[in-house]
Structure 1
Amino acid sequence: MAKFREAEAFDSSANSAYTMLPWRFTALDGNDRYVATNLVGEHLVLDRETIGKFARRELAPADPAYDELKARHFLIDDDTNVAVDLLALKVRTKLAPLANFTALHIFVVTLRCEHSCPYCQVSRANNDRGEFDMSRETALKSLDLVFRSPSPALKIEFQGGESLLNLPLIKLIVEEAKRRNETARRELAFVVATNLAVLDDEALAFCKAENILVSTSLDGPAELHNANRPRPGRDSHQRAVDGIHRARGVLGHYNVGALMTTTSASLNQVKAIIDEYLRLDFGGIFLRPLSPYGFAIKTKSYAAYSRERWLEFYFEGLDYIISLNRQGFDFIEHYAAMVLKKMLTPLQTSYVDLMSPAGIGIAAIVYNYDGTVYASDESRMLAEMGDQTFALGNVHRDSFEDIMLGDALLEPLTQSFAGSVPGCSSCAFEPWCGADPVFHHATQGDPVGKKPLSAFCTRSMALFRGLITRMEADDDVRALFEKWSNRA
């Protein structure tokens, strides 16, 4: 029979030795509060005095923070060391998706487009320029690479240009992918990215028959959307709205999604943009910034607003969405939800910008119309500006091993482990952040970048602080954010 422990073992006023597990901390705000995080991103907000005591190993078991630190795997003591095993399990859970490798495969089936968006991140061709369509041979060789991926789930996304201008090739790819999958036995899914302006009954019937999802662009109310996305007839918004309704009627309400891009014209209209998504009965919105590639640079659209101005836009929108939820609207901000998934759960997100090592090649890969393979959609956009740094090879001359194990991909991936990067390794936000070598190469000429000068870093850190302060200030917001984290 095991003996009961002596009464002194339960005396919480007595000091006991503890061992700190890996952790980091950083200032949260100007109110003497700090954020402490462990290896997997579990966090606590503590005051300066408590942080100091813990770091000096002077925190008494009777201190209210002691049990919280112990429960979140910041320390182990003589009472139990199970936290080491639990922490290791959570680290394995976070990193497990890396073994699946590439799940998203983007086919650029044409560069033709009838829109002339000034912020477009890729070069585009006129409707009659068929030489900018992907060929049958290129499509089939690209599919060879798709099915070499070890991922149990494969998603093929069709992009352009306007992808529906090459509908015959989309049909071929879907038919051939499904034929190959009879042997491969993967979880196969398809998405068509389209502005909906040329959507017809043939395309809708095909998407319905093959269970294809539709993703479109919606930048906000009519005046803003038409300015951001001009086309002949100046009716891009009406065509998008009509297309959304038609597609929902055939494919189902939740099989049609939309994304917006923030231009300088958007910055004072965040509530109107969100209201437009609500009016059209979308369940959420992704308030994303404009990327520094393609025509966004050539037309100076990217330089038209600073990261600080975008953050003002973002948090105004986030607070508005929180207020809508208080009024009973079930509406989510997807950027926050993906960050919160990393902050509040042991799970990883597949969003490329929030992955470490970087998501290029690992989370997504792009097969261009001419057979060139790029590490990400952003890599293709960079190439359209004349920079082929992240071009991995070509399906007509290179094997899967040449493309996926070549220096063009492995070198930036090796440098993108945020835990070993100067400026990141000591940052408390590192478990929640990601690495974006394409962005840093485009803006600083280096895949790692100088973190104090990085718009990516300052934007991300401001986002993390903003989410934490809102959770700390309001239990209802915390409950809302916890719900979002499980839906991302």
Structure 2
Amino acid sequence: MDKIPIPLQERKTRKFNAFDCYASEHTSGYFLLPFRFHEITSEREVLVNEIGDFLVVQKGTAERIVKREISLDNDPELYGDLIANFFISPTPVPGLLDVISTRYRTKKSFLDSFTSLHIFVISLRCEHTCHYCQVSRVTAEKHKYDMSESHIDIGINLMMQSPSPFVTMEFQGGEALLAFENIKYAIERTKKEALIYGKTVTYVICTNLAPLTDEILEYCKENKVFISTSLDGPEFIHNQNRHKPGANSYRLAVDGISKCRSILGEENVSALLTTTKLSLQYPCEIVEEYVKLGFRNIFLRPISPYGFATRGESKNKYDTLVFLDFYKKALHRIIEYNIAGYFIREDYTTIILKKMLTPFPVGYVDLQSPAGLINNVIVFNYDGSIYASDEARMLAEMNDFTFHLGSLDINSYNEVFYGSKSDVLAEVFANEALAGCSDCAFQSYCGADPVHNYTTQHDLYGYRPSSTFCQRNMEIIRYIIELMDSDKRIERIFRNWITGKS
């Protein structure tokens, strides 16, 4: 019979018990493999193993497993599931340990190629006055805030030193299209360098589409450039969120999306939603706007607590629980459309589902461990400054240079990516080694975000019990599992989201 540790309230000391107190005589047929568990509903709980496999079971099952009350005789189906999914083993070392290790390496294989996303802040100029803008934009005529050709050249040289054979060059602003000649220069230079270094480069322009011209679109078509824009929902929401003096921002965005689709193809145009206080009141209407415009995906993302967006608290600050309510209502409407036969997926949910239901890594920066900053993304600012992530750049706009890694004019590749600042950040990269994350059932589906920790809690390490990052992701993951467990139609819909097939 297993020895049970003395309950905490009965101990006379805070020291750990002796080793033999935890030793198992193992008379009941199996050994425990590492797993964690979390309550899903009042009656159900989820078990998650070290490689992200999960089982939804009756509440109390984790306790029964630990007490070795489950056997092939009294519960053969559950016993078989636990063996097959690496929660328990009939031998001290599982017979398929090599399979487990291979699957774990696969989950972390995004580290093999290191940094793939390179963001070039090509200009700070912008003709919109969005109240949630996270950077200190400048008016459209101030060309001194454009990235210089020399900084573009050095940034490209650093990008070519990435171990990854596949890199993404993303142009941001301000409004990137206001410096389109610089974008053309950067793409033409990159095409030449890519041939020398054997790189495959994906080009993305983030734009509000207002400065869009036929010439720009033809160039994007010729060079297979992806367009990423913003759409915050119906006209009255979009225009209030994304104000353009003297013009209808919504109409410019919608007309621009239509032109991009006709020339570049629907698959090469995407839109992002930013959820403001106003947006929270209209979850279904926002989803319906995306459906009306023919989108097959929508990204329900909260407003970021970075940069100048924090100054407009009356419009931009809200409680995480309020966002979660918005998310659930919008997700429910999206699921209704899928049940009715219209395929549309929610992107954040799909990212989590890929981590839960496939053996492959996901390249989404915010949900990676080790963290995506530096490991997956780097930012070259218009002035030559280098930052660990786009959020880090936003902090610098508020004169906080905690995540400033160096300068294009001064620092080498090794100094930027393997320097002292990177070493400091590496200590808080992995959620496997963070208190509160290390024993969380959803660890393998979540990530580490030291920039968010620092911004919201003034500490790189962070404190999980009061973290809005944890609060949001834990509830979203729990809710996704609850939905799949409660309705097999929803599980089928979610699996279709992963494959992209209606």
Find the counterpart in structure 2 of residue 56 from structure 1: 67
Query: Does the Cα contact within 8 Å between 1:226 and 1:234 map onto a contact in 2?
Result: no
Match of 1:407 among 413, 420, 436: 420
Do residues 38 (structure 1) and 85 (structure 2) align? no
In the TM superposition, what whole-angstrom CA distance separates every residue of 1:195-253 from its partner, at most 9, and x where no partner exists?
A: 00010122111111111111100001111100000012231000001111111111112
CA distance in 2, matches of 1:152, 1:317: 38
Matched ranges for 1:47-446 at <5 A: 47-62=58-73, 63=75, 64-78=77-91, 81-300=94-313, 304-446=317-459
When structure 1 is superposed on structure 2, of 377-386 and 73-82 the one drifting more is: 73-82
* Partner SS, residue 393 of structure 1: strand
Find the counterpart in structure 2 of residue 7 from structure 1: none
Distance 1:303 1:280, change over 3 A: closer
Query: Does the Cα contact within 8 Å between 2:454 and 2:462 map onto a contact in 1?
Result: yes
Find the counterpart in structure 2 of residue 478 from structure 1: 491
In the TM superposition, what whole-angstrom CA distance separates every residue of 1:86-105 from its partner, at most 9, and x where no partner exists?
A: 21111011011101001111
CA distance in 1, matches of 2:92, 2:499: 32
Match of 2:30 among 18, 29, 33: 18
* Aligned AA (2:188): E
Shift of 1:417: 1.0
Shift of 1:410: 2.7
* Aligned AA (1:106): I
Query: Does the Cα contact within 8 Å between 2:308 and 2:397 map onto a contact in 1?
Result: no
CA distance in 2, matches of 1:303, 1:279: 26
* Aligned AA (1:165): L
CA distance in 1, matches of 2:130, 2:91: 63
Query: Does the Cα contact within 8 Å between 1:196 and 1:239 map onto a contact in 2?
Result: yes
CA distance in 2, matches of 1:269, 1:415: 37
CA distance in 2, matches of 1:80, 1:364: 38
* Aligned AA (1:22): P
Shift of 1:68: 0.9
Find the counterpart in structure 1 of residue 15 from structure 2: none
Distance 1:302 1:268, change over 3 A: closer
Shift of 1:21: 1.2
Query: Does the Cα contact within 8 Å between 1:356 and 1:433 map onto a contact in 2?
Result: yes
Q: State the Cα RMSD in Å.
A: 1.5
* Partner SS, residue 321 of structure 1: helix
* Partner SS, residue 440 of structure 1: helix
Distance 1:99 1:79, change over 3 A: closer
* Partner SS, residue 369 of structure 1: coil
* Partner SS, residue 231 of structure 1: coil
Shift of 1:305: 1.4
Query: Does the Cα contact within 8 Å between 1:119 and 1:301 map onto a contact in 2?
Result: no
Structure 1 residue ranges without an equivalent (≥5):
1-14
Query: Does the Cα contact within 8 Å between 1:263 and 1:301 map onto a contact in 2?
Result: no
Query: Does the Cα contact within 8 Å between 2:238 and 2:250 map onto a contact in 1?
Result: yes
* Aligned AA (1:472): D
In the TM superposition, what whole-angstrom CA distance separates every residue of 1:401-445 from its partner, at most 9, and x where no partner exists?
A: 000001222322221211111111111111111011001100111
Shift of 1:78: 5.0
* Aligned AA (1:51): A
Identity of aligned residues (%): 42
CA distance in 2, matches of 1:83, 1:318: 38
When structure 1 is superposed on structure 2, of 16-25 and 338-347 the one drifting more is: 16-25
Query: Does the Cα contact within 8 Å between 1:118 and 1:301 map onto a contact in 2?
Result: no
* Partner SS, residue 46 of structure 2: strand
* Residue-pair matches, total: 473
* Aligned AA (1:353): D
CA distance in 1, matches of 2:60, 2:212: 62
Structure 2 residue ranges without an equivalent (≥5):
1-26
* Aligned AA (1:39): E
Query: Does the Cα contact within 8 Å between 1:113 and 1:124 map onto a contact in 2?
Result: yes
Query: Does the Cα contact within 8 Å between 1:105 and 1:366 map onto a contact in 2?
Result: yes
* Aligned AA (2:36): R
CA distance in 1, matches of 2:312, 2:115: 33
Shift of 1:28: 1.8
